[in-house]
Amino acid sequence: MTENRRTEYSLRQWITDKIFLGMTIGEYIKRSITPFNIVAGLILIAGLYASIIRFIKGLGPSTNLSDTYPWGLWIVDLLNYVAFGATGYTIVTAVHLLGLKEYRPIVRPAILIGFLGYLFVGISLLYDIGRPLRLPYPLFVSQGTTSVMFEVALCVFLYLTVLFLEFLPAPAEWLGLKKLRGWLAKITLALSVFGLTLSTLHQSSLGAYFLIAPGKLHPLWYSPYIPVFFFVSSVIAGLAMIIFVSMLSHRVFSSQGEHYDMAPTTPQPPLLRGIKRDNNFDKLTIGLGKAASITLLSYFCIKWLGVAHGNHWGLLKTPLGYWFLVEVLVFVLLPCFLYAWGVRQENATIVRFTSMFTIIGIMVNRINVTLVAFNWNAEVRYFPSWMEFAVSFTFITLIILIFRWIANRMAILYEHPEYKDAH
């Protein structure tokens, strides 16, 4: 009986169900013509043109990089993908290692963001390095073991694999691969431990990239603690990103009905005790805001340790010193207070607004370290070319499109009905 049904279930039907969400191709295309998609399409066309120039004519004609500024916008992007990819390990650690089970509903979107972020780290590198086909060289041909970059390459490669395996249960459910799904469930804990270990290493090592350039990075940003700054700020980035993405996905995917994280939880989880909101989604957001506020406060303190360690107080009274104060007061301390205020008021909207503000703050920090405070004393300054921007926006657009494609098909924001309680 089942055998018969399986053969009757033709490939055509399968494609219609799985790929075109039960619509005919014509319908699907018609439904896809939306203002958002048209804008996305235009960005992709610009990015495609820039990509062709990059790969046919080289880095010179497509970018504004120079001998003084060998790293530009694409490296900033890469640092940001890794920082915001921290959603994966942050939420996985909270749920699987610290046992904060109430956050289980956001594990899958968090892993998906992390996976896509790290995937685009690799893709950015293909654009940025001069010999893209040699990308595997550090791992497989000649290991530069004294290089921070070698360590990052190894960790990022391994962690991308971990994220892929952590993400795999969703496509396994989608394709009905129960055995694979079951096997993956068994290695969850191992993956969580391995993932956090790798993340600790490479998140901090991205900061350690700059340890070798004390003469180039402004003393207010250069610090022996810069690896710690990068690691702690990645937690902030991860928390802000998951708050932001949850907010967006609730609007965009509202047609999916009851989202997993809307369901009320019993008993009241300890972190959220005393918070009275009508749905669990707001409660989770407020809980995440609480964690973000505390992390921001720690980060604010250690940033000053950096200044104190080098005794650079005098530099605060210079133009770049004012800019440092803007970064630390406006983009670190202010969101710390805003989150705390949102938590205090039990107002998820404040927390969501603050998450967007924090995301900008993290980007500002990565831009400062790579471009503004780097070569601060050089005569030549760098500003990205339009093609560098086009490629950047193309990657961000692609991340959004892929996320949407997957969330429309797989159990990312809701629980797959056949696998409830199968953790």
Partner 1 sequence: MNINRRNFLKVGLAGSAALVIGGPTKSLAAEQFTGWPDRFGILVDTTLCIGCRTCEAACNEANKLPTPKEPFDDYSVFEKKRRTDAGTYTVVNRFANPKPGGEPIYVKKQCMHCDEPACASACPVKAFRKTPEGAVVYKKNLCIGCRYCMIACPFNIPAYEYFNAFTPLVRKCTMCFDIRIEKGKIPACVEACPMEVMTFGKRSEIIKLARQKIMAHPDKYADQIYGENEVGGTGWIYLAEVPFEHIGFRTDLGIKPYPELTKGSLGMVPIVIALWPALLMGLYTFSKRRSKSAETETMDSEEKEAKQ
Residues that bind partner 1 (CB under 8 A): 55-61, 63, 65-68, 70-71, 96-99, 101, 128-131, 134-135, 137-138, 141-144, 146-151, 153, 189, 192-194, 196-197, 200-201, 204-205, 208-216, 224, 227, 267
Compare residues 91 and 359 and give the one whose CB is closer to partner 1.
91
Instruction: State the burial class of residue 243 (Cβ atoms within 10 Å of its Cβ: 0-12, 13-18, 19+).
Output: buried
412 with 109: CB under 8 angstroms?
A: yes
Largest CA distance in the chain: 81
Residue 283 corresponds to which tokens in the numbers above? 């409660």
Compare residues 96 and 283 and give the one whose CB is closer to partner 1.
96
Q: Is 374 helix (H, G, I), strand (E, B) or coil?
A: strand
Q: Is 217 helix (H, G, I), strand (E, B) or coil?
A: strand
φ and ψ of 358, to 5 deg: -65, -40
Cβ atoms < 10 Å from Cβ of 287: 22
Which among 337, 374, 371 is positioned nearest to 357, based on CA atoms?
A: 337
Q: How far is the CB of 364 from partner 1 (least distance, A)?
A: 21
CA distance 378 to 366: 19
271 with 277: CB under 8 angstroms?
A: no
Q: How far is the CB of 382 from partner 1 (least distance, A)?
A: 13
User: Which residues lie closer than 8 Å to 258 by C-beta, 6 or more apart?
Assistant: 414
Amino acid letter, 337: F
Q: How far is the CB of 53 from partner 1 (least distance, A)?
A: 10
Q: How far is the CB of 32 from partner 1 (least distance, A)?
A: 36
Compare residues 188 and 408 and give the one whose CB is closer to partner 1.
188
Which among 160, 130, 46 is positioned nearest to 396, based on CA atoms?
A: 46
Compare residues 58 and 264 and give the one whose CB is closer to partner 1.
58
Do you know the residue count of the chain?
423
49 with 390: CB under 8 angstroms?
A: yes
Q: How far is the CB of 422 from partner 1 (least distance, A)?
A: 19
CA distance 232 to 234: 5
Q: How far is the CB of 149 from partner 1 (least distance, A)?
A: 4
Q: How far is the CB of 196 from partner 1 (least distance, A)?
A: 6
Give one DSSP letter per residue of 337-373, joined into a string: HHHHHHHHTT-HHHHHHHHHHHHHHHHHHHHIIIIIS
Compare residues 3 and 421 and give the one whose CB is closer to partner 1.
421
Compare residues 7 and 377 and give the one whose CB is closer to partner 1.
377
Q: How far is the CB of 268 from partner 1 (least distance, A)?
A: 12
Compare residues 194 and 419 and give the one whose CB is closer to partner 1.
194
Compare residues 249 and 370 and give the one whose CB is closer to partner 1.
370
Q: How far is the CB of 137 from partner 1 (least distance, A)?
A: 5
Q: How far is the CB of 157 from partner 1 (least distance, A)?
A: 12
Residue 103 corresponds to which tokens in the numbers above? 């956050």
Compare residues 31 and 381 and give the one whose CB is closer to partner 1.
381
Compare residues 182 and 214 and give the one whose CB is closer to partner 1.
214
Q: Give the E-state strand segments of 66-216 in sequence order.
A: none
